[in-house]
Every structure is written in structure tokens, then in C-alpha cells.
Structure 1
Amino acid sequence: MYHFRVFATFLRNALIREMMFQGNFLIQIITRAFWFVAQIALFKIIYSKVPEINGWTEDQYFAFMATGMLINGIVETFFMPNCANLSEQIRTGRLDFALVKPLDTQFLVSLERVNLAMLSQVALALGLLIRSLYRIGEPISVMQLVMYLAFVLIGVLFFYSLMVVTACSSIFLGRNQGLYDFWFYITVFARYPRSIYDGRDASQRFEAGEVLQFGFSYIVPILLVVTVPARVIVDTLEQKHWMLVALMSAVVGMLISRAVFSWSLGHYRSASS
């Protein structure tokens, strides 16, 4: 409960900070809305030429897109500002203040800053998801909804663990300003369904798409954390083992990120050392 009260304080501080710079807050919301409309327009044009893409109809794909936006929106609201700021805390020695506070250090450095403007993307994603499911017209059971929310959470935890491991490199490098670039490049693959990367032709040769599909499904399962919840909510998930792989990716990712964070702190040299 103490951590919840501290997190509530973080939210209140974030709201005060955004209201101090309302123009910047509004510009961020407008920028996200413009990007959202551009993505919708692009795939509207594509689907005006074809009825489906690798088994995904227009409304099913928009449900997938909404799921990806929802996961990314949550991650970029709560975790991205803090993980990106970790290198600056290390460089300036401000991480010392986090270490001496009576709170879990990973909790503190992961949630201290909240980007409330990114909640606009969460709202837009939910609107797109509801519209897509309405147009599909299939009834959604309570179990489907519960599983969808659970796998969205799994996706958030997976991306969070990936960000923590990346951010911890700042302790050894001293500066890691490429975190945003890494996040952009790595999430590019998650913007499209796993089936898009099917690369086998008629002769069954092993193509680059198959390599990407295997690597990002089993080694670093980026393709699953969005595809699985999207498949669940539109009721097209046939290979049930992907649910277990996605779940294990989040569990293993969180354990690894915790171990890497603790190990990295053991190698941290404070500003006073």
C-alpha cells in the first residue's frame, strides 16, 4: 500500500507538471492524433485494393493495430520516460538519491515520471478496438475479454523487461541516449502480425521472413506479445501454444530484468565514490 501511495504522488506530480506547460501537453496530444490518423489512412488505402492480408481482414487488422497501440501507449506512458532518463541519473549521480530512499529502487526509477500525454494514444487505441470489434460483429465472451486484458498486460511486462535490460547498459556505458532509437527499431517488427513474416514460397526455401519469424517468436518473442492478444479478441487463435510462449516470455523477461538490474546496481559507482 505504501508503494501505491507513492505512485499516486507520482501521478499527481505528473499532472501538475503537464498543467504548467499546457501548450506542450496539447502539442503532444495533437501529434499523437495526427500519427494515429495517418496509420489508419495508410491501411485504409491498402485494404481498398485487397480484401485481406495473410488472413487478416481490414477490421481484424485494425483490432491488431489497436492492440499494439494500446500496449505501446501504456509502456510509453509509465516506463519509457524513466528508462530513458536512467542514463542521465547515472551520469549526474542523481541515482544516489534513489538508492538511499526507503523504496524498491527499480520501482522508483521505473515509475517516477509519468507521461500523461501518451494516455491520448491509449484512448484512441481503445476507440479503434471497440469500432473494429463492432464491425466484425462476432460476440465476445467474458473469458475472451479477460484473456485479452491478461495478454495485453503480458505484452506490457515483456516490453518493460526489455527496456530495463537495455537501460541498465547505461551503468557500464555511462550514457545510453540510443534507447529511444532502439525502442523504435525493435517495435517496428511488432507493428505487423506474425503471419506477415511468412517467407516460404512454392519451393519451400528458407527465406529471410522465416528467420525473422523464428527469431522474434522463440528467441525474443516480440511478434507474439501483440499478435496473441489480437488473435484472442478476434477469436482467430488456432495454435494455442503461442499463448504459453507469450506468457513464458513475460515471466522469464521479468526475472531476467530484475536480475540484470540488481547485478548492474552492484557495479554502479555513485557520485561520491
Structure 2
Amino acid sequence: MRRYIKIFSTFARACLVRDMTFRVNFLLECLTSLGWMSMNLAFYLLIFSFTPEIGRGSGWSREPFFAFVATGLIINAIVQTLFMPSASELTEMVRTGGLDSVLVRPLDAQFLLSMHRFDFSSMANGLVGLGLLIWAVLRFPVAPPLIAWLLYPLLIVCGVAILYGLIIMLAAATILMGRNQSLYDFWFYITNFSRYPAEIYAGPWGDPLRTVCTFVIPILLVVNVPAGTLARPLSGEAWGMV
């Protein structure tokens, strides 16, 4: 384990040096991410100027919903920083034969393939998400219990693990297809469903979609479970049962 931690830190340091070599590009990427997120937040504020909650009877009023958005930002920032850059390079490695050199190295191949390149500019959204989470929680009518705060980071890790598994499956398709340039596109289409609370997926079209995105591709669990733990905590008896 200590060996892999050392290798991980070496990869991270090398990628950080690379990003700092092109500081202007790094800053532009951060500003682009922040600009995109600012427009999304403005859009959500516009929605809440017309309705008290997202989804009739869902219970996701403004502050809980922004805690939901913040949780999604944190999880996606971790995934985009640690895993997505390496996964997007797998296509080129298969095409050029670089995958063979990785497989013969005396290290875990999955570790090398999924964590050899990092994108630190994606951390900007994570920092915004952390600030947004603090802002939203401080405005909750009832503060989340201690057990909710203890479970929250664990559930964040579980959400990251689900997205990591999805990335690995999409990237592994490159080996069969030879070229998988649609990785980012398909990733966006799938994760787009996790940007909203599961309660809005109702009705003749929403219920089947909710079932698929919960039990087949558990993308709805990624953000809903950790965000719901803080924004909609269980009662004391329910926590005892858990």
C-alpha cells in the first residue's frame, strides 16, 4: 500500500508541475468551469423565483436543493480530477500499443490505467461545491444530526466509487471497439440524470427511468443518498434501525 501511495503522489506532483508550466491555460480552464457553474446556479435561482421547491411535494426547497447541487459538484470534481483524464487516454493507448507496456509492468494495471494523469483545474468546481454546501447547510431550518455528518463523507466515497466503476466500463469498451471517442459524450448523457433529485422522476415516463437509473445503472444513488442524508435526515428511531 505504501508503494502505491508513493507512486500516486509522484503522478500527482508531475501533473501539478505540468499544469503550473502552462499557468494561463490552467487559469482559463478554472475560470471556464466556474463560469459554467455560475450560470447553472443563476438558472436554479431563477427557477426558485417561481416555485418554492423542485418537484411538487418532493421536499427539495431552495437550501436543500443547493446542498444537493453542492454534493454533485464535490463528487464530480473528485472524479474529473482523479479518473477521467486517465480514462480518456485509454483510447489512444489502445490505438498506439501503449497499453501493452502498461500490462507488463510490475504494478496493478488498473491502478496505472485509471490514475496516471490528473486534472487539477477540475478542483475549482469542488471548492465551489464545498462553499455552496456550507452556505446551504447554515440556512437549514434544522441542523443535520452528528451521524449525518459522519455518514456524509462515507457516502461521498460510495458515490465516487459508482462513477469510477462506470468510467472503467466505458473506457474498457475501447479494447473491443478500438476507438471510443464518444466517452465524454456518453458520460455526460448518463450523469445528466444524477443532477436532479430522484423524486422528480415520476409518472408513466419517470417511474421506469427512475427504476433503471437506480437498480440497473445506479446513477441516481450517487448524489441523492449523500445529499439526502444532510438535507432530509432520518428521525432518531430510523437512525437506530440503521
TM over 0.5: yes
Distance in 2 between the 1:20 and 1:170 partners?
A: 31
Post-superposition CA distance 1:136-194 (Å, at most 9, x none): 14223332112111111101000100110111111111110100001100011000000
Q: Does 1:121 align with 2:125?
A: yes
Contact 1:81/1:113, CA 8 A, preserved across alignment:
yes
1:50 is aligned to 51
Distance in 1 between the 2:101 and 2:134 partners?
A: 44
1:256 is aligned to none
Shift of 1:33: 0.6
Contact 2:53/2:62, CA 8 A, preserved across alignment:
yes
2:17 is aligned to 16
Post-superposition CA distance 1:188-209 (Å, at most 9, x none): 100000001122xxxxxxx011
Contact 2:214/2:220, CA 8 A, preserved across alignment:
yes
Structure 1 segment 147-158 matched on structure 2, within 5 A: 147-158=151-162
Post-superposition CA distance 1:21-66 (Å, at most 9, x none): 1111001100011011111100101101111123210000000001
Contact 1:68/1:226, CA 8 A, preserved across alignment:
yes
Distance in 2 between the 1:59 and 1:236 partners?
A: 14
- Counterpart code for 1:70: I
2:135 is aligned to 131
Q: Report the aligned-residue RMSD.
A: 1.4
What is the aligned counterpart of 1:110 among 105, 114, 124? 114
- Counterpart code for 2:23: Q
Structure 1 segment 256-267 matched on structure 2, within 5 A: none
Distance in 2 between the 1:139 and 1:197 partners?
A: 27
- Counterpart code for 1:50: T
Q: Does 1:194 align with 2:171?
A: no
Gaps of 5+ in 1: 200-206, 245-273
Contact 1:70/1:125, CA 8 A, preserved across alignment:
yes
Task: Say how many residue pairs are matched.
Answer: 233
Range that drifts further, 141-150 or 151-160: 141-150
What is the aligned counterpart of 1:144 among 117, 141, 148? 148
Contact 1:231/1:237, CA 8 A, preserved across alignment:
no
- Counterpart code for 1:10: F
Moved over 2 A (4+): 137-142, 235-238
Shift of 1:235: 3.0
TM-score, L = length of structure 1: 0.82
Q: Does 1:62 align with 2:66?
A: yes
Contact 2:145/2:233, CA 8 A, preserved across alignment:
no
Post-superposition CA distance 1:209-241 (Å, at most 9, x none): 111011111111111111010000113458x8x
Q: Secondary structure in 2 aligned to 1:135?
A: coil
Contact 1:28/1:117, CA 8 A, preserved across alignment:
yes
TM-score, L = length of structure 2: 0.93
Residue identity (%): 42
Distance in 2 between the 1:190 and 1:15 partners?
A: 29
Q: Secondary structure in 2 aligned to 1:56?
A: coil
